[in-house]
Amino acid sequence: MTQWLENLPNWQPYGDPTYFGYLLLGLIPIVIGLLYGRRFQVYEALFSFTFILLMFSGSKWVQFYALIGYIVWQLMLIFGYQHYRKKADQGWVFYSAIFLSILPLILVKIHPVFNHGKMSIIGFLGISYLTFKVVAMLMEMRDDVLKDLRVWPVTRFLLFMPTLSSGPIDRYRRFEADYTTAPERSVYLDYLQSATWNIMLGFFYKFIVAYYINLYLLIPFKHAALSQGGLFNLPTIGVMYAYGFYLFFDFAGYSLFAIAISKFMGINTPINFNKPFLAKNLKEFWNRWHMTLSFWFRDYVFMRFVLMMTRHKVFKNRNVTAGVAYMVNMLLMGFWHGLTWFYILYGFLHALGLIVNDWWLRQKKQKNRARKKAGLEPLPSNWFTNAVAIFITFNFTMFTFLVFSGFLNQLWHH
């Protein structure tokens, strides 16, 4: 088995035009079926299995076993917890289940820190995105909104090929509803139209814009910055903007592919980016940037943390509660990216930014209330103030991306 796996070619998802060629060829029967309102479940399973297999074949064969082991582990947890949840609902059992489901990810994140950056053998491409899906399911099972789960639907949700490696992060109930009913023809034709457009736009983003930004801006700026050295220099500012845009076009392009292929398969996977650099404040930014991730954190970390703290009356002031929740939320996101100072600082900066942003909005509200009482016009809000707001938000996020990129680490320690 291992040898066979090792000898297969390896195809990274959405890596090159050839990949799309094979992918679209494989999709044809699914598309024809859906046009006639039929979903060929067995064929879809085979199709997904083949492309997942090829993601982890060749020199990456270890990851294939890691994936299988991981899925078995999570299925045991989900169904073990479901079995338990029918009878009881104790907090510690729930927390243990959550802990056990994150455990593989924690090990994968910690392993390189103590092993000279070497990856853990239980890791595989997409592990964190799968963990998000499982944790959300466990939480909704405790809320009693998810029940009577069966193995096959859960497996196909977890292993949904188009979004397996890097999202967007879908929710079980939404996905299952899409999957069990084939979309109506007119709706499905809309899907096909938007999918075709998204693939073309994704090509433009990832293979043209991101590629050229990297080649003609990012690499030369990095080169210049490194050769000048020092704590900070002018080319590093170039690296900052170039990297921010590179990250956006690369990842947004990737997300467009994943969404498009989902739609070909009749699944309306949620969007991930919505013009993030036009956000007027940091809160809005997170409603536009890597949306499925930030919504996941909002729903399953932030809201739950706020709720818990309010219920236990930890802080009197609800603004303090929100601030602490921001900090926990964003630091956790930082840790999730990896255990390095720059990821954690990235989370910290965003938490700080969100707290300041909240404070500012509160101040503005108060001022405007006071002005209204005094019969004055509210503070000006026009194209100019909007432009300033966009400018500040944009530059702040660009700076945090510079931190995130890890380039400063390279600049200071190379």
Partner 1 sequence: MRKRLWLIFGPVICAVALILITILLANPNPKSNYDVEKKAAVATTPQVFKSGVLKRQALSDSDHRFVPFFGSSEWKRMDSMHPSVLAEGYQRSYRPFLIGQAGATSLAQYFGMQQITDQLQDKQAVFVISPQWFVKDAQKQKALPMFYSKAQGLDFLQNQTGTDADRYVARRFVQVNPKDSLTGMMTKVADGKTLSKTDNAKIKSYLHVSNKEDAFFSTWKTADTYDKKIAPKAEKLPQPYNQKVLSQLATKTAQKDTSNNPYHIKNSFYTKRIKSHEAKLAGSQKNFNYVQSREYNDFQAVLNQFAESNTDVMFVIPPVNKKWAEYTGLNEQMYQKSVEKMKFQLSSQGFNQVADLSKNGNKPYYMEDTVHLGWNGWLNFDQHVNRFLTTKQKAPNYKINNQFLDNQWAMYEPKAKDDFSKFK
Q: Which residues make up the interface to partner 1 (CB under 8 A)?
A: 9-10, 12, 16, 35, 58-59, 185, 189, 192-193, 196, 200, 227-230
CA distances from 377 to 7, 156, 186, 374, 389 (A): 72, 56, 49, 9, 20
| Distance separating alpha carbons of residues 291 and 270, to the nearest angstrom | 9
| Distance separating alpha carbons of residues 346 and 405, to the nearest angstrom | 9
Are 19 and 55 in contact by the 8 Å Cβ rule? The answer is no
The full length of the chain comes to 414
Q: Which of 337, 350, 413, 414 is catalytic?
A: 337
Nearest residue (CB) to partner 1, 123 versus 353: 123
Nearest approach in angstroms of CB 85 to partner 1 is 44
Q: Using N-to-C axis directions, what is the helix angle for 172-180 and 151-158, rounded to 10°?
A: 110
In the block, tokens 């236990």 appear at 312
Are 87 and 80 in contact by the 8 Å Cβ rule? The answer is no
Question: Comparing C-alpha atoms, which of 308, 306, 272, 274 is closest to residue 290?
Answer: 272
Beta strand segments in 255-391, E? none
Nearest approach in angstroms of CB 88 to partner 1 is 50
Phi then psi for residue 247, to 5 deg, are -60, -45
Nearest approach in angstroms of CB 336 to partner 1 is 26
Our answer to whether residue 337 is catalytic in this structure is yes
Nearest residue (CB) to partner 1, 5 versus 192: 192
Task: Return the ∠ at Cα 210 (arms to 209 and 215), rounded to 5°.
Answer: 100
Nearest approach in angstroms of CB 22 to partner 1 is 13
Nearest residue (CB) to partner 1, 12 versus 385: 12
Amino acid identity at 24? L
Nearest approach in angstroms of CB 124 to partner 1 is 16
| Distance separating alpha carbons of residues 400 and 402, to the nearest angstrom | 5
Nearest residue (CB) to partner 1, 26 versus 69: 26
Other C-beta atoms closer than 10 Å to the C-beta of 285 total: 23
Nearest approach in angstroms of CB 186 to partner 1 is 9
Nearest residue (CB) to partner 1, 225 versus 242: 225
Are 169 and 8 in contact by the 8 Å Cβ rule? The answer is no
Nearest approach in angstroms of CB 173 to partner 1 is 30
| Distance separating alpha carbons of residues 352 and 365, to the nearest angstrom | 20
Question: Comparing C-alpha atoms, which of 45, 300, 292, 74 is closest to residue 179?
Answer: 45
Helix, strand, coil tally for the chain in percent (to 5): 75, 0, 25
User: Both tokens of residue 399?
Assistant: 């700076």
Nearest residue (CB) to partner 1, 96 versus 228: 228
Active-site positions?
A: 337
